[in-house]
A and B are shown apart, each in its own frame.
Chain A
């Protein structure tokens, strides 16, 4: 993917002066100190999505010459545009990391056009060649983690029913649900997975109700894709179900009911961005990676995970580390009976089709 030339970086040097703020002196040094602005849609410590990013940002704070400015609970409206501008004008930020899906279009695109000397890297958005060159997007193939969750879950389930609390039926969530069940079915094809959509990224009571409904429906291993998995994990563990975590390590919340979890690891990614920029190189415009690239990692296995499960999951993980592992591979149908992949066909983790998944695989109860 396109990397930018060093000359862009030297242009970057001038921006901070415009703000006339206390930090303006910093930007004047070409490849030295720089300010990174990180923006969160929710609270920084939500035991989930935002916390994972905040942890990545925290890893930058110790680096020499790096100043990190952060703002939480920023709405996906003009608010986020003003926050970005304020970080640029007043803090002299030269790299902005808006971490919520909804920030990209139009907000990041507008600000990227307005501030051509500042780099914007957005988490989750689909940057294309048509978008400004100083913007970009990064994301991880975390469905790989959900696939491994599914393998471990399959070894733990007795009812052969898994449960998934999901926020909205968007491609990244659907990939996770599919990954979870495909992992489980790689162990036992009789396993099914019930999904309940809450419709919101963060809504505690509804998430608890959804978890209860899943368990009442017979599910005995639960995972989720909402911003803050804390409520789902705790509710499931209290009901006696096993839990696979998501976004961050929630093992402390479920104790021996915690099997494993799919976690983000943004620290190396963010470090890569800033060390690159300090060396005069703009971060890539389109960056994706999975387990092999260190974007995603697994929580340590809980005590309830059997030896067989560990071996199974570790073996698949080793396979994934080689790259090109296809979670979606034929012959496979979706849960409405349409063919997704013919026999012999597979979608490796970097297949562009996965960015627009609109189906749930056979065996998932629920509709996309």
Chain B
């Protein structure tokens, strides 16, 4: 699948095209108008989704008011709820970046799950021989091992794509299943801690290698690192020549080649970077959550990450809010199950419905005059760019 989906979107959305600018004040207002549009349309879609789902619940004989109250209280309404949501969002940041970075080149990589699992396994594997080493050294080497494992695994997918023409979507999915099989094989074989009886695991890390929560919070460091990674990914894709080159290659490979861009290396590099970041999620699962690698590393974060990346329109800066929202829904899902006595699947329906509507909302961009940059004074931008999300000509 050669989806160059988001590349064009994002290029226009962030106004990265070098063009003569309007005076600063007008430009800011036009920028704000576009941003407001990018926030209000999805929020409207979310509200509509919650409304429709309330009706659905009412038809099942459950109270919509209680439902909305529980979504708020379970996902957002207290310090505990907020931290719960943030905690769930943390691994999703990495998983989404694993999709969003290669998407700059028009690639659809859906094998992040495998990189997460291998990252966790690699971290746990190097921790055993390092036992007794200073904590910071151990943690650094574990992270390095994870980054390497993820980079190699998905970098291979990129390389196959670049030099052998192998479709990266199917290759990454296949590689993901293979990675999970490999991880299970090792966790229950060579790397198994003989003391792990009914839950086969690798050896438990030294206490010094464990990563604690963020200061004052109960959320582990993966959240902070994930946010920084999103920021850096944005800088890379939007503010560096490398990112610019990737975007050109994503738009038109031939053109990029004619301009002498190293398309093959770009493809391999971006998929490898995505794999490395996904592997960090696995590293944090091991170092901050489980204390060893075990079958629970296969938690489906990789697949949720795909959804988040697409909802964020492959924009690294949009990933954190989307991941937080999803984390919030998942955080409230337990409370909804327990209080409304509905099955877990109800939340799946809610998520599906919300995302369906948010995606449908994309069609509304540019339809409302009130958000038009033109109206707010940025005539150049209005002339040079379609409203955000405009189709490629």
CB of B35 closer than 8 Å to a CB of A: no
Q: Which of A67-124 contact B (CB under 8 A)?
A: 69-79, 82-83, 85-87, 89-91, 101-102, 104-106, 124
- In the complex, whether B132 has a CB less than 8 A from a CB of chain A is no
Chain B residues with CB under 8 A of A342: none
Q: Is the CB of B200 within 8 A of A355?
A: no
Kindly provide the distance from the CB of B285 to the nearest chain A CB, expressed in whole angstroms. 7
Contact residues in B for A73 (Cβ distance below 8 Å) = 344
Find chain A residues with CB under 8 A from B296 CB.
75-77, 102
**Contact assessment for B334 and A71 in the assembled complex, using a CB-CB cutoff below 8 Å:** yes
Give residues of chain B (265-298) contacting chain A, Cβ–Cβ below 8 Å.
Answer: 285, 289-291, 294-296
Across the interface, which residues of B come within 8 angstroms of A91, CB to CB? 338
CB distance from B78 to the nearest CB of A (A): 8
| Beta-carbon contact of A77 and B334 below 8 Å | no
Of A69, A70, A78, A169, the residue contacting B188 (CB under 8 A) is A169
B197 within 8 A of partner (CB) = yes
Instruction: Determine if A43 is an interface residue (Cβ-Cβ < 8 Å).
Output: yes
- Give bound CA distance, A82 to B84, whole Å: 6
In the complex with contacts A43-B343, A86-B84, A105-B199 CB distance below 8 A: yes
Minimum-distance CB pairs A-B, first 10: A76-B296, A69-B338, A73-B344, A101-B198, A82-B84, A170-B198, A71-B334, A102-B199, A72-B344, A83-B334
State in angstroms the CA–CA spacing of A72 and B188 once bound together: 26
A72 touches B337 (CB 8 A): yes
Q: Find chain B residues with CB under 8 A from A71 CB.
A: 334, 337-338, 344
Distance between A166 CB and nearest chain B CB, rounded to angstroms: 13
Question: Nearest chain A CB to B169's CB is how many angstroms away?
Answer: 23
Give every chain A residue within 8 A of B200 (Cβ-Cβ).
168, 170
Interface string of B168-201 (1 = CB under 8 A from A): 0000000000000000100010000000011110
Which chain B residues border A82 with CB–CB below 8 Å?
84, 87-88, 331, 334
List 17 additional contacts besides A86-B331, A126-B198, A170-B200; criterion CB under 8 Å.
A43-B343, A71-B338, A71-B344, A74-B334, A75-B300, A77-B285, A79-B88, A82-B84, A82-B87, A82-B88, A86-B80, A91-B338, A102-B295, A104-B199, A106-B290, A124-B198, A168-B188
Complex formed: what's the CA distance from A78 to B281 in Å? Answer: 13
Contact between A355 and B197 (Cβ–Cβ < 8 Å)?
yes
Interface residues of B (CB under 8 A from A): 73-74, 80, 84, 87-88, 184, 188, 197-200, 285, 289-291, 294-296, 299-300, 330-331, 334-335, 337-339, 343-344
Find out whether the CB atom of B343 lies under 8 angstroms from the CB atom of A78: no
Contacts of A101 in B (CB 8 A): 198-199
A199 within 8 A of partner (CB): yes
The distance from the CB of B61 to the nearest CB of chain A, in whole angstroms, is 19
CB of A172 within 8 A of chain B?
Answer: yes
A71 nearest CB across to chain B (Å): 5
Q: Which residue of B lies closest to A100 (CB)?
A: B199
* CA of A126 to CA of B330, assembled, Å: 30
Q: How far does the alpha carbon of A44 sit from the alpha carbon of B337 in the complex, in Å? A: 12
Given A85-B80, A86-B84, A90-B73, check contact A77 B343 (CB 8 Å). no
Residue contacts A-B, CB under 8 angstroms, 29 given? A69-B338, A72-B337, A75-B296, A75-B299, A75-B300, A77-B285, A79-B88, A82-B87, A82-B88, A82-B331, A82-B334, A85-B80, A86-B80, A86-B331, A86-B334, A89-B80, A102-B295, A105-B199, A106-B291, A124-B198, A125-B198, A126-B197, A126-B198, A168-B188, A170-B197, A170-B199, A171-B197, A199-B184, A356-B197
Q: Which chain A positions have C-beta within 8 A of B290?
A: 77, 106
User: Please, which residue of chain B has its CB at the minimum distance from the CB of A101?
Assistant: B198
Give Cα A69 to B184, complex, Å: 33
Tell me the bound Cα distance from A170 to B299 in angstroms.
21
Which A residues, 186 to 200, have Cβ-Cβ distances below 8 Å to chain B?
Answer: 199
Closest to B184 in A: A199
> What separation, in Å, do the CA atoms of A19 and B335 have in the docked complex?
13
Report B-chain residues with C-beta under 8 Å of the C-beta of A86. 74, 80, 84, 331, 334-335
- Using CB atoms, name the residue of chain B closest to A69: B338
How many whole Å from B127's CB to the nearest CB in chain A? 15
Q: With the chains together, A83 CA to B334 CA distance in Å?
A: 7
Cα-based distance from A91 to B70 in the complex (angstroms): 12
Query: By the criterion CB–CB under 8 Å, are A77 and B289 in contact?
Result: yes
Q: Which listed residue (B74, B339, B343) contacts A72, Cβ 8 A?
A: B343
Give the chain A neighbours of B334 by CB distance below 8 A: 71, 74, 82-83, 86-87
Residues of B within 8 A of A83 (CB): 334
**Assembly CA distance A169 to B197 (angstroms):** 9
Residues of B within 8 A of A76 (CB): 295-296
Name A75's closest neighbour in chain B (CB-CB).
B299
The CB with the most chain A CB atoms within 10 A, among B84, B200, B285, is that of B84
CB distance from B393 to the nearest CB of A (A): 45
Q: Which residues of B contact A171 (CB under 8 A)?
A: 197-198
Within 8 A of B (CB), among A330-355: 355
Q: Which chain B residues lie closer than 8 Å to A44 at the CB level?
A: 343
B interface footprint on A216-241 (CB within 8 Å = 1, 0 otherwise): 00000000000000000000000000
Cβ contacts under 8 Å, B339 to chain A: 69
Q: How far is the CB of A46 from chain B (nearest CB, A)?
A: 12
Contact B344 A70 (CB under 8 A): no
A83→B84 CA distance, assembly (Å): 9
A356 partner residues in chain B, CB cutoff 8 A: 197
